[in-house]
């Protein structure tokens, strides 16, 4: 199948499977960043809380300057760490995973499994449902093992993803093993997303200037 056709087919399937409006509530707990300062290279992950039905999901509990500040942001939404039901790793880099143990009761989801206590439950993340309004999508490109978390809200679809570090891209991801694969994932995300919550920057509304 030519790429464009494959992409349209994937987009149509996403449209059928993922509700364009839903009941999820999305709260960014930390806007991620990547910058140099006098102390060295500073890297913070965008950390997001998504609440829907019985699920309280933390996406990318990675590097933060202060764990206390992260937990305070969580408490600001009336969620304590023990009530977090699920953690999602967008991919396996430590800057997005190192603080997972802050949430002792959470199942952890990545591209190929769910980890629950000492249970390793193999499954493909593509199409996984965490709640009626929270779904996972396989979106390789920054690494070979990226997933995006798709939240259907009253204001449209929010996608937490490392397919962009921030609104400006970078257009060519310096870590990407295959930029074409990343471009296909970006196209698929853009076909459904109202708002993108990128790996290392504030959320943004995608537009014509968004790197493809």
61 near Zn ion, rule: CB under 5 A:
no
CB 196 to Zn ion: min, Å: 14
Residues 155-194 that bind Zn ion (CB under 5 A): none
199 near Zn ion, rule: CB under 5 A:
yes
Cα dihedral 92→98→103→105 (10° resolution)? 50
141 near Zn ion, rule: CB under 5 A:
no
Rank residues 98 and 190 by Cβ distance to Zn ion and give the closer one: 98
- The region of 47-55, 176-184, 185-193, 195-203 touching Zn ion under the rule CB under 5 A is 195-203
Rank residues 52 and 173 by Cβ distance to Zn ion and give the closer one: 173
CA dist., res. 194 & res. 192, Å (int): 7
Q: What residues pair up with 198 in beta bridges, in sequence order?
A: 161
Residues 91-120 that bind Zn ion (CB under 5 A): 93, 95
Q: Alpha carbon 25 to chain centroid distance? A: 14
| Binding residues for Zn ion (CB under 5 A) | 93, 95, 199
């Amino acid at each position: 199948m030519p790429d464009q056709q494959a992409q349209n087919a994937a987009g149509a399937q996403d449209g059928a499977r993922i509700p364009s409006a839903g009941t999820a509530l999305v709260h960014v707990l930390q806007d991620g960043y990547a910058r140099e300062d006098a102390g060295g290279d500073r890297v913070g992950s965008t950390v997001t809380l998504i609440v829907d039905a019985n699920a309280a999901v933390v996406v990318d509990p990675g590097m933060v300057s202060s764990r206390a500040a992260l937990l305070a942001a969580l408490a600001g939404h009336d969620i304590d760490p023990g009530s977090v039901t699920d953690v999602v790793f967008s991919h396996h880099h430590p800057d997005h995973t190192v603080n997972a143990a802050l949430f002792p009761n959470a199942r952890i989801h990545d591209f190929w499994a769910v980890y629950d206590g000492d249970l390793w439950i193999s499954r493909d993340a593509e199409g996984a449902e965490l709640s009626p309004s929270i779904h996972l999508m396989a979106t390789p490109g920054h690494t070979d093992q990226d997933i995006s978390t798709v939240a259907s809200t009253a204001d449209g679809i929010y996608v937490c993803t490392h397919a962009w570090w921030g609104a400006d891209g970078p257009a060519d991801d310096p870590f990407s093993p295959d930029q074409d694969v990343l471009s296909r994932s970006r196209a698929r995300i853009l076909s459904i997303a109202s708002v993108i919550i990128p790996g290392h920057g504030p959320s943004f509304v995608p537009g014509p200037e968004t790197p493809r």
